[in-house]
Amino acid sequence: MYAPPVTTVDHYKPDLRDTFFQLFEVLEIQKTSLGKGPFESMDEDSARASLEGFLEVMQTTWAPAFADGDRIGATFDGKGNVTLPPSYRKAFEAFHGGGWNKLELPESLGGYGAPPTVQWSAFELMAGANPSICFYMLGTMMTKIIDRFGTESQKKRYVQNMLEKHWGATMVLTEPGAGSDVGAGTTKATHVAGDEYHLEGVKRFITNGDFDLTSNIVHMVLARPEGAGPGTKGLSLFIVPKFWVETDGTLGARNGCVVTKVEHKMGIKGSATCELTLGDGAPCRALLVGEVHEGIAQMFHVIEYARMGVGTKSMATLATAYHNALEYTRVRKQGADLAKQTDKTAPRVEVINHPDVKRMLMQQKAFSEGLRAVILWTASVQDQVFLAGGHGSPEARQLDALNDLMLPLIKGYASEKVYELLGTASLQCFGGSGYCEDYPIEQYIRDQKIDSLYEGTTHIQALDLFFRKIGRDKGQTLTALMQQVGKTVETLPAELGAEKAALAAALGDVQGIVGAMLGKLGQSIYHVGFQGNRILFALAELVIGWRLAASAQVAQQKVASAQGEDAAFYRGKLAASKWYAKNVLPGLSLTRKLIENGDLDLMDVTDDQW
């Protein structure tokens, strides 16, 4: 029996039950975040209702446009203008028309005052329903950046315009000759007068550099003022609108920042990846943000948001892929039970009954739910940052550092592991059908692959983790995180003995890995180059195991009194945690040995030997 194809309308399979479990049963944000400080207007009921209402919009307007982005894509006219599929406009208007952009805004800007835990829960729904549309909504984030760092004049010209007219926005860093080496950028900024500059240069791989859903797009551009020093410290941040914004907030002439090319890509074809040419044929007018030359520090707030977003996008993709695979394997019949394979008269069974399919499903379940747990735990740290005075507040310093430590794990590990599992587990559950457009898996794979590339490739995340997030404070933040893991190990009950033993061993392995690498660093920095990714993966897998065990601890307390679907849900939590403890965490011992025994032999391989 063949399972019916999944239409583009119903491809998205969300899991709000697990999100609510993490938010209100594990993290208990109703006690730690909601109703406090900047989140005082939101309680548990309104948080639940907001996410349920938002999911309805995602399922009715965003998910149906999923295939259009791939089949129709973003169309470039060669004259600087990009047109999106009609269904994208419907999704865009439903998002803003329902006021859902306010989920991301503080009350001071007319928003709902939702904490990051709720905001990132909503972002998962967006990214799972239609990842190509997500970053067309970047205008809200950039509004907050201008509101925080802009001068009063700049805020007057842009903030309300961006909020009320739903202007788009982009982050503009990459250049053709620089790639991920942002500090090598050569785009020039020439001072005109006051806070106005003219920019000249070419930027590449600019996500959504043009689109036809809004009356204006605000490009946030890193450029180097004349006379500024080299590297990232010499870069400044500029507001560069598609249409110039006059001092009274009205739109002026078309600015000299024009899309000159749109990339033809493997996936996320509905997201226009653009080459943006500045100052060719017409002046590219720009305003220096805050009239201060602190570009990379200002832009890093956007970069960190984007890295968290990329990791969340990957997790969301694996989560919906898992639920699609689960649905398919429950109805697709093929082969007899393995124990009866020699009996030619044995009935065919649903493929979910086959051991290897169960293994692949559990891989997807454990990693998708584990990544969600890690992401929302990190979001809860961000909640506490705001409650402690916000980013940069002395009272929030340690929390800020903990959040910073988590970002390369979320972005780097999620993007790599999800791509692996989409191909080796999600698609594999469908067999040959998964390779066809009848099902969404093949598009999931193509749309997700970008995640390990943009906002810093995986190895860039690994180097950032080791040198900046661990090395900068001599391992203090990492030690604090390890202590939290250790406390959980101590409190795990006997029923979670497998998790207790595996986590304790994995914790020792990660500590051994860091110690070994510090020793090798004295020999050569190339050791970090060879082993950096392994270090990142090992720490991420430890943290995932920790959050799965913490979730299992809550499930263990509730399963005895639960009934029906709740009882099954909690038993599933226990099964996922135990499987992960037995099948993933032991692998950290091998990783430790590989790092301890690592050498530099590859550095001796000359070019003519490849």
d(CA 234, CA 224): 6
C-alpha–C-alpha distance, residues 351 and 348, integer Å: 9
Task: Tell me the CB-side half-sphere exposure of residue 164, using CA atoms within 13 A.
Answer: 7
Identify whether the C-beta of residue 241 lies closer than 8 Å to the C-beta of residue 225. Answer: no
Query: What would the pLDDT profile of 491-545 be if each residue is shown by its tens digit?
Result: 999 999 999 999 999 999 999 999 999 999 999 999 999 999 999 999 999 999 9
> Does residue 550 surpass a pLDDT of 60?
yes
Q: How far is CA 553 from CA 333, 388, 549, 567, in A?
A: 36, 28, 6, 14
Same domain, 21 and 101: yes
Instruction: Give the pLDDT band (50/70/90) at residue 5.
Output: low
pLDDT attached to residue 343: 94
Place of tokens 């999600």: 426
User: pLDDT averaged over the chain?
Assistant: 96
Give the model's pLDDT for residue 181. Answer: 86
Answer yes or no: is 345 within a domain. Answer: no
Separation between Cα atoms, residue 109 and residue 163, nearest integer Å: 8
Residue 126 has a pLDDT of 98
As a whole number of angstroms, the distance between CA 46 and CA 43 comes to: 5
Domain end residue (candidates: 242, 261, 293): 293
- Asked if 130 contacts 91 with a C-beta cutoff of 8 angstroms, the reply is yes
CA angle 75, 80, 86 (to 5 degrees): 35
Looking at residue 10, what is its pLDDT?
A: 86
Residue that has been written with the tokens 């059908």 in this structure: 433
Q: 236-241 and 75-76 as β-strands: parallel, antiparallel, unpaired?
A: unpaired
461 within domain boundaries: no
Name, in order, each residue with C-beta under 8 angstroms of 163's C-beta and a sequence gap of 6 or more.
101, 105, 109, 110, 140, 143
Please name which of 299, 127, 111 lies closest in space to residue 221, comparing C-alpha atoms: 299
Q: What phi-psi label fits residue 206: left (phi over 0), alpha (psi between -120 and 50 degrees) or beta? A: beta
Same domain, 508 and 564: yes
* Residue 581 lies inside a defined structural domain of this protein: yes
Distance separating alpha carbons of residues 488 and 546, to the nearest angstrom: 8
- Considering the domain boundaries, does residue 27 fall inside one? yes
Query: Which one of 273, 293, 313 terminates a domain?
Result: 293
Tokens 């009715």, located at residue:
60
The continuous run of DSSP H or E covering 336 comes out as: strand 333-336
The predicted structure's pLDDT at residue 179? 80
pLDDT tens digit string along 245-290? 999 999 999 999 999 999 999 999 999 999 999 999 899 999 999 9
- Residue pair 579/366 in contact (Cβ under 8 Å)? The answer is yes
Q: In this structure, are residues 290 and 278 in contact, taking their beta carbons and an 8 Å threshold?
A: no
327 is catalytic: no
Structure confidence by residue, pLDDT tens digits, 72-88: 999 999 999 999 999 99
Angle, vertex CA 302, rays to CA 298 and CA 306, nearest 5 = 160
- Residues counted in the chain: 610
Give residue 1's pLDDT band: very low, low, confident or very high (50, 70, 90). very low
Instruction: Please check whether residues 488 and 568 belong to one and the same domain.
Output: yes
Q: Where are the alpha helices (DSSP H) in 205-258?
A: none
Rg (CA), the chain: 25
pLDDT of 3 > 70? The answer is no
Range of the domain at 488: 466-599
Note whether residue 545 is domain-resident.
Answer: yes
**Given a cut of 60, is residue 314 above it in pLDDT?**
yes
Please name which of 510, 508, 515, 502 lies closest in space to residue 534, comparing C-alpha atoms. 510
**Does 354 fall in a domain?**
no
Write down the residue that tokens 């295939």 correspond to. Answer: 67
DSSP secondary-structure letter at 464? I
Residue 540 in domain: yes
The fraction of the chain above a pLDDT of 70, given in percent, is 99
The answer to whether 220 and 189 have CB atoms below 8 angstroms apart is no
124 plus 184 within the same structural domain = no
In a domain, 520, yes or no: yes
User: What sign has the CA pseudo-torsion 202, 206, 212, 217?
Assistant: negative
pTM assigned to the model: 0.97
- 169-208 residues labelled b (16+ CB within 10 A) or e (exposed): bbbbbbbeebeeebeebebbbeeeeebebbbbbbbbbbbb
The 3-state DSSP class for residue 243 equals strand
End-to-end CA distance of the chain: 49
Q: Is the pLDDT of residue 348 over 80?
A: yes
Asked if 220 and 117 sit in the same domain, the reply is no
Would you call 365 helix, strand, or coil by DSSP?
A: helix
Residue 210 has pLDDT above 80, yes or no: yes
Clarify whether residues 121 and 245 are in a common domain.
no
- For residue 469 the two structure tokens come to 């997030």
What's the rounded Cα separation, in Å, for the pair 445 and 187?
34
Q: Are both 180 and 100 inside the same structural domain?
A: no
Q: What is the DSSP letter of 7?
A: P
Find the mean pLDDT for residues 144-169. 97
Instruction: Give the number of other Cβ atoms within 10 Å of residue 146's Cβ.
Output: 23
Query: pLDDT grade, residue 7 (50/70/90)?
Result: low
- List, in sequence order, every residue forming a beta bridge with 217; answer none if it has no partner: 168
Q: What is the mean pLDDT of residues 201-221?
A: 97
The token pair at 519 is 């020793």
How many CB atoms sit inside 10 A of residue 64's CB? 20
Residue in 104, 416, 455, 499 annotated catalytic: 455
Residues 131 and 21 in one domain: yes
At 8 the pLDDT is 56
Q: Tell me 43's DSSP state.
A: -
Task: State how far the Cα of 11 lies from the Cα of 426, in Å rounded to an integer.
Answer: 14
**Which domain-ending residue is among 147, 177, 212?**
147
* Pair 438, 416: CB distance under 8 Å: no
207 plus 139 within the same structural domain = no
The CATH number of the domain where 215 resides is what? Answer: 2.40.110.10
Side chain identity at residue 94, one-letter code:
A
The answer on pLDDT for 549 being more than 80 is yes
Mind listing the pLDDT tens digit for each residue in 416-450? 999 999 999 999 999 999 999 999 999 999 999 99
Do residues 22 and 143 share a domain? Answer: yes
- Same domain for 125 and 181, yes or no, is no
CA distance 204 to 182: 12
Let me know whether 44 and 143 are in one domain: yes
User: φ, ψ for residue 273 (rounded to 5)?
Assistant: -95, 115
For residues 303 and 147, the answer to whether their CB atoms sit within 8 Å is no
Kind of pairing, strands 196-207 and 243-245? unpaired
Q: What mean pLDDT do residues 350-366 have?
A: 98
Number of Cβ within a 10 Å radius of residue 392: 12
Q: Which residues lie closer than 8 Å to 192 by C-beta, 6 or more apart? A: 198, 285
Quote the pLDDT of residue 201: 97
β-pairing, 188-193 vs 217-225, is parallel
Query: In this prediction, what percent of the chain has a pLDDT beyond 90?
Result: 96
Q: What is the 3-state secondary structure (H, E, C) of 252-278?
A: EEECCEEEEEECCCCCCCCCCEEEEEE
Quick check: 349 pLDDT over 90? Answer: yes
User: For the chain, percent helix, then strand, then coil, each to nearest 5?
Assistant: 60, 10, 25
Q: Can you give the pLDDT at residue 119?
A: 98
The token pair that represents 103 in the structure block:
């989920």
pLDDT given at position 178: 84
Domain with residue 133: its CATH number is 1.10.540.10
88 with 66: CB under 8 angstroms? no
Region 335-341 average pLDDT: 94
Would you say 569 and 21 are in contact if contact means Cβ atoms under 8 Å apart?
yes
Angle of the 476-491 helix axis to the 397-408 helix axis, nearest 10: 80
Provide the domain count of the chain: 3
Contacts of 503 (CB under 8 A, 6+ apart): 485, 488, 489, 492, 542, 545, 546, 549, 581, 585
